Amino acid sequence: HVYLSCYVQIIYSSIYIPLCYFLVGQTNLKSPEDIQVYVVNSNFTLRWNYTGNDTNVTFSAECRFEGYETDKTEWKELSGCQKVTRTECDFSSAITEYYDTHHVRIRAERREEVSPWSSIFEMIPYCIGMSSIYSHQEEQLSSYALCNCFLQFRSLSIFPTDIIDDLAPVTTYCLKVQATIPLDLKEGLFSPIHCVKTTHKVNDLVCATNVSVFALNMKFHLHWNNQYKQHVTYNVQYLMGYLKKLHDDYSVKWLSVPRCENITDTQCNFSSIIIGTSGFYYLRVQTVNEYNKSCLSDEVKVDPLITNEIGPPDVKLDISDVLLHIQISPPGGSESEVMRDHYDLSYRILYWKNSSNNEEEIKMKEIKQTIGTVSDLTPSTLYCVKVQAFSEFYNKSSHYSKEECIKTPGDKILPLIILATFVTALIAVCLVATILVFALYQAYNKIKYVFFPSCQPPLNIEHFGGQLFSSPYLSTTEEVIENCSIIETIIIEEVNQIDFKDDKHSKQSSRDSGNYSNDDDTSGSKVSEEMVEKEIV
């Protein structure tokens, strides 16, 4: 009996112990499955599935955080999701760190029985909230990778007092701030994350919209749109950029742009306030309606050398010998020293042959000077050029200038041939003209000598016998020669008779007529014949 009893005790003990273990560690409750998170208007809802047939089952969830700068924390009860009877719960009040990674797990409970924990669900509240904005409907996110697609971080350098624009309405934004000392390359720790939700957008019709800056060659203009249908006036205000870096209140330090006060136009030239290129400016437009209600537009930042755009240069062309000279005037004209001194401009030259062949190659060259040359030109060809100014440091470039064209001179061999031909022809004409003039001159002299002789016969024989001896070269007939012979005899006889009658009178006559040179009677006839022969000669 004792032995049996002891044996029974042993058997009982061996059976009792496993039975106790089964009652404590075993449960028929199943774990929740398919955990999901839904977001509607920034309200976070946790949902899951439960396949068990048990009744009177409740569900509880736990959560732990894993921050960027912190390790994983201990599991804690998830507020809003404790002992719920439905397969969903709202845990919006538990979200305080939107950028931290959240780990969530759920289990089923019935009195003292509990199910094993579900698989861990991982999420980042911020990116889940962003997903609801893009989809405009309930969005399911079941993995960290899907969540990460919507996560967008922005980094801004702000001043002690600053405004962040361009936020979406009815959206939760989170931020943390870090102080830096740029000169010492020192950075502080980030502040705790703070989140705020933007309100609905209010469309104030009085405010100026689409405020923008148009700047070309350091000439600055502010443009905006007017959406108010009634009469309004505008005041353009500006603020020196460095004032925002100070801890003082800069709201009272806005100044009015000269000649842009109480205007009705929707543009303003504010070039007069740009007094340097090292600083920057903020501008805004104040609109005032007929009821003296005012509204300030969004601010625009103006950094002169960055905001300004480079205009096209002016180009002049010239040809000398076989070179094409390109003279470039910098953008802004000769008065714009800022364009030349601060942008360190270079010039990109495009040139090509302007012909009917569309396949002519466009050639390019870049220079730093304002004078460029192009060689290897083709004679009698039209070349066209356009130039672009650009700044490598500021990564800016202008539009190309207006196309300018010039024609190169023709080949020099043909002009030389034409010149030589002309000179030769001129010399030949001059020679022929000289010869012709000389011939005409000689003919003129001969004609004049024959028909109009300068030498006349003696007076005593000029009209003798009624005959006219106008020229000794005139051809005479045979009868005239006979008469001349008779006349010569008569002259001799008459002279002799006169000599006999009056010697003194004869001498006087011979002197008057020039036919006798002495008083010798016997030589008178010979002298007279010699004189006649001389006259004939």
Q: Both tokens of residue 307?
A: 């905001």
| The amino acid at 24 | V
- pLDDT tens per residue across span 72-103: 678 999 999 999 999 999 998 888 877 778 88
Q: How far is CA 91 from CA 23, 38, 331, in A?
A: 34, 11, 63
Per-residue pLDDT averaged across 219-234, rounded? 89
Per-residue pLDDT averaged across 371-398, rounded? 90
Q: Both tokens of residue 67?
A: 């921050």
Which DSSP string do the residues of 263-288 spell out, in sequence order?
A: B-SSEEE-GGG---SSS-EEEEEEEE
The CA distance from 46 to 141, in Å, is 11
Confidence (pTM)? 0.48
**When comparing pLDDT for 519 and 270, which is higher?**
270
3-state secondary structure of 332: coil
**For residue 265, pLDDT beyond 70:** yes
The proportion of the chain whose per-residue pLDDT surpasses 90, expressed as a percent, equals 31
**For residue 326, pLDDT beyond 90:** yes
Asked if residues 283 and 270 have their Cβ atoms less than 8 Å apart, the reply is: yes
**For residue 464, pLDDT beyond 60:** no
Per-residue pLDDT averaged across 370-397, rounded? 90
Asked if residues 285 and 262 have their Cβ atoms less than 8 Å apart, the reply is: no
Per-residue pLDDT averaged across 154-161, rounded? 76
- Please give the pLDDT value at position 411: 64
**When comparing pLDDT for 356 and 402, which is higher?**
402
| The amino acid at 65 | F
Q: Both tokens of residue 18?
A: 């496993």
- Position 379 confidence tier, pLDDT thresholds 50, 70, 90: confident
Q: Where are the beta strands (DSSP E) in 342-403?
A: 346-353, 363-367, 371-374, 382-391, 396-397
Asked if residues 304 and 394 have their Cβ atoms less than 8 Å apart, the reply is: no
The CA distance from 345 to 337, in Å, is 12
- Position 344 confidence tier, pLDDT thresholds 50, 70, 90: confident
**When comparing pLDDT for 1 and 529, which is higher?**
529
Tell me which residue of 102, 104, 61, 55 sits closest to 82, measured CA to CA. 61
Select the highest-mean-pLDDT range: 82-86, 225-229, 340-344: 82-86
Q: Both tokens of residue 311?
A: 């205009």
- pLDDT tens per residue across span 21-64: 333 445 678 899 999 888 776 788 999 999 888 888 999 999 98
Length of the chain (residues): 537
- Position 346 confidence tier, pLDDT thresholds 50, 70, 90: very high
Asked if residues 46 and 104 have their Cβ atoms less than 8 Å apart, the reply is: yes
Please give the backbone phi and psi of residue 338, each rounded to the nearest 5 degrees, phi first: -65, -40
Per-residue pLDDT averaged across 450-465, rounded? 63
